Amino acid sequence: MKPARIDKKIQMPVSWSDIPFGEQYRQAIENQLSPWWPKIFGFHLLKLGHLSTEIHTDDCLISHQFNVGTGDPRFNLVAKPEALPLTQKSIDACLMTHCLAYSHDPHWLLREVDRVLIDDGWLIISGFNPFSLVGMAKLVPVLRKRQPYCSRFFPSVRVFDWLSLLNYEVLYHRNCQVIPWLSAQRRVNKSCGGIGALSVIVARKRTCPLTPTPLKFKQPKVKIGTALGAAKEISKSMKINDPS
């Protein structure tokens, strides 16, 4: 398995239109998240990176929604995703649309987002599925330097492992958009999600361990010889005190 951290930095596209079939990808992600927005509530929704800014979140119950990133006038707050100028536990939900795919250190990025999320906060992640048509195209040497094949394709199981280490509970996961150039509403893109080009994850930060371990209490060890000696002393004292 290749290390998560790399020295090379990958430039995230400014818009979904900069990615082949990007509009279809955006619609597919919005379709997957539409049932979840009414369930997510709080005060602040952080939309991280260029691609997250174009995801429609009007159905979300959080009123204050702001974009964070660099090099784009659409950002309400200009900052690097790996160094957010936000106080600890100040964000209720965070949308990371393909942020891990374009990060040179996804571990650090997740830890930084975890720092600013409140307890029981929501984390929404999307990325490309390596076990899909897009993943197969990434194996073609000519395409590796083009979008989106120049980005990093992490298997969902690997992302689950990272979230588990940070004590997140995955509430929803779906691979969608099997055939990238078709509409997200087509039946094949809805019914055959296992090999879909996109991976969408909805997780929640938990304060208690998800796999509780039983507490082991240390009990004092009593030597058998000491116990027998104490029993003999008690027996002798009972005979001495016996009036008969």
pLDDT at 73: 87
Rounded to two decimals, the pTM is: 0.82
Asked if the structure places residue 229 within a domain, the reply is: no
pLDDT at 107: 95
Asked if the structure places residue 137 within a domain, the reply is: yes
Asked if the structure places residue 36 within a domain, the reply is: yes
More confidently predicted of 56 and 195: 56
pLDDT at 193 over 50: yes
Q: Which domain holds residue 161?
A: 16-205
Burial call 178-199: b when 16+ CB within 10 Å, e when fewer: bbbeeebeeeebbeebeebbbb
Of all residues in the chain, the percent with pLDDT exceeding 70 is 82
Asked if the structure places residue 47 within a domain, the reply is: yes
Across the beta sheet with 64-69, what order do the strands follow?
77-78, 64-69, 44-48, 91-97, 117-128, 198-205, 168-176
Asked if the structure places residue 87 within a domain, the reply is: yes
Whether 159 and 98 have beta carbons less than 8 Å apart is answered as no
pLDDT at 217: 42
Task: Give the containing element (helix H, strand E) for 91.
Answer: strand 91-97
Asked if the structure places residue 239 within a domain, the reply is: no
Number of domains in the chain: 1
Residue 152 is part of a domain; what is its CATH number?
Answer: 3.40.50.150
pLDDT at 1 over 70: no
Of all residues in the chain, the percent with pLDDT exceeding 90 is 65
